[in-house]
Amino acid sequence: MASGKPSVGFVGLGAMGFGMATNLVKQGYPVKGYDVFAASVERFKAAGGIPAASLRDSAEQRQYYICMVASAPQVQDVLFNPETGILDVLPRGATFLLCSTVSSAYAQSVEKELKTRGRDDILFIDSPVSGGAGRAADGTLSIMAGGSDAALEKGKFLLQEMSDANKLYIVPGGIGAGSNMKMVHQVLAAIHIAGASEAMGFAARLGLDAHAAADAIVKSDAWTWMHENRSKRMLEEDWNPGASAMTIILKDVGIITSTARLHTFPTPLASSAEQLYLTSLVHGYGPKDDSSLVRMYTPDSLVSVKCTLSPEETARRLKMVTTLMQYTNIVAAAEAVAFARYLKVDMKQFFDLVINAAGGSKMFNTLGVAMGEGITTGEAAKGALRIDNIINELSRIVQEARDLYTPLHLATEALNQYILAQRRGWGGEAATSIIRVWES
């Protein structure tokens, strides 16, 4: 309190929330934290936080409250549970930051329910975050925040404490706009997390050294932020407890596909990824780190593969892996850009956000803007990256994977989109034209 910084209540001390809360402690805020797991509260206390004895205890007399629980049902419980919810104890005029990833429809329902219950004095900000546990702890997250001007004005300093200076996006459109922005970002995150496992699983099946493959991807046109982040954990295979549990990305992708169904909008790649996440749950991987999805591609440890191939053959196979992933990432970029356009998301903010956050990929970062502006032909069409060429090359790689009995959930779905585009007469166009499959 000596710092004069206002006291903050916090619920949800999981992988991300713990980092966010302790970062605020480090910045000098008195933070009272709660979690349903007592051990997390103890750990928070050890890190300098103030332990809350109950959920309501974390909210009493706090003018600022941050909610970082895992899902909409948990948010609902935190706010509105008649016995334990914070609604009755939050001071009048308090600022409530909802940082959990929820659907825009759910965020809007919270706004409505606050009003119905006579608590529209609460300054509500819909502000999902992205960037992983590391950036949460550093206070350099990407944050997508929407709400009333009054709420944003009052809560902005806290959003700034938690985010990188260049990565705080005040999204126009009120409550729901931040969640929509996060959702279209997560289209890329959900596909790329699965894609990281698909590429590394394929590499293992090809007999490639896992470290060499992971490095080659990072340095190639197949780069994704998620691959660079997840491949380390994939190599270590320390999945329990997970840094980012399978159930978290599964929840996020569920928001995407359920929103897409509401709009009757196709999201074939996100949907394939979701099916794969669900299948991993059947096999017990729900609580494990999402990089354990690689087990859906290969039963053995990645690092157990000892590469015995010639340098030439090694190079050829590495190139197959990166090409497969690159061409899949182009379709992922198109799916995300098309969905964002369809939802009338601010595209400039969207591109800036993705490029600087966990959804980024070499393909999105270089081709996404052209896709978003409908620049689907031109110079690129003259080069190698034409849809016809991609189909030829990808078909060959998919067949070689098939001969090794390697599943390729995303790449085969991506190939199907290219084939649909070709059949509609766009085979001679640049790869960016793949977005036309969604935009017709």
Q: Give the residues lining the site for a second copy (CB under 8 A).
A: 250, 254, 257-258, 261, 264-266, 268, 271-272, 274-275, 278-279, 281-284, 295-299, 391, 395, 398-399, 402, 405-409, 412-413, 415-416, 419-420, 422-424, 440
Closer by beta carbon to a second copy, 278 or else 309: 278
Q: Calculate the alpha carbon distances from 69 to 75, 76, 102, 135 in Å.
A: 6, 10, 10, 17
182 has catalytic annotation: yes
The C-alpha atoms of residue 39 and residue 13 are separated, in whole angstroms, by: 10
Residue 422 CB, shortest distance to a second copy, in Å, is: 6
Long-range contacts of 216-222 (CB under 8 A, 24+ apart): 216/318, 216/321, 216/322, 217/321, 217/322, 217/325, 220/322, 220/326, 220/362, 221/322, 221/326, 221/362, 221/363, 222/321, 222/322, 222/323, 222/324, 222/325, 222/326, 222/329, 222/362, 222/363
Instruction: Kindly report the number of other CB atoms within 10 A of residue 216's CB atom.
Output: 21
Find residue 125's DSSP bridge partners.
Answer: 97, 147
CA atoms within 13 A on the CB side of 373: 9
List of residues 6+ apart from 41 with CB closer than 8 A: 13, 33, 34, 35, 51, 52
204 φ, ψ (degrees, to nearest 5): -65, -40
185 φ, ψ (degrees, to nearest 5): -60, -40
What angle, rounded to 10 degrees, do the helices at 104-116 and 177-205 form? 150
Name the 3-class secondary structure at 144: strand
Number of H helices, E strands in the chain: 19, 9
Residue 342 CB, shortest distance to a second copy, in Å, is: 10
Closer by beta carbon to a second copy, 106 or else 297: 297
Closer by beta carbon to a second copy, 379 or else 403: 403
What angle, rounded to 10 degrees, do the helices at 246-262 and 268-282 form? 140
Closer by beta carbon to a second copy, 11 or else 199: 199
Residue 15 CB, shortest distance to a second copy, in Å, is: 21
Closer by beta carbon to a second copy, 133 or else 391: 391
Cβ-contact 422, 217 below 8 angstroms: no
Residue 420 CB, shortest distance to a second copy, in Å, is: 6
Closer by beta carbon to a second copy, 127 or else 417: 417
Which one is catalytic: 32, 167, 182, 288? 182
Residue 212 CB, shortest distance to a second copy, in Å, is: 22
Residue 438 CB, shortest distance to a second copy, in Å, is: 8
The C-alpha atoms of residue 43 and residue 231 are separated, in whole angstroms, by: 28
The C-alpha atoms of residue 115 and residue 27 are separated, in whole angstroms, by: 33
Which residue in this structure is represented by tokens 């690092």?
303
Closer by beta carbon to a second copy, 139 or else 242: 242
Residue 201 CB, shortest distance to a second copy, in Å, is: 9
Q: Which residues are designated catalytic?
A: 182
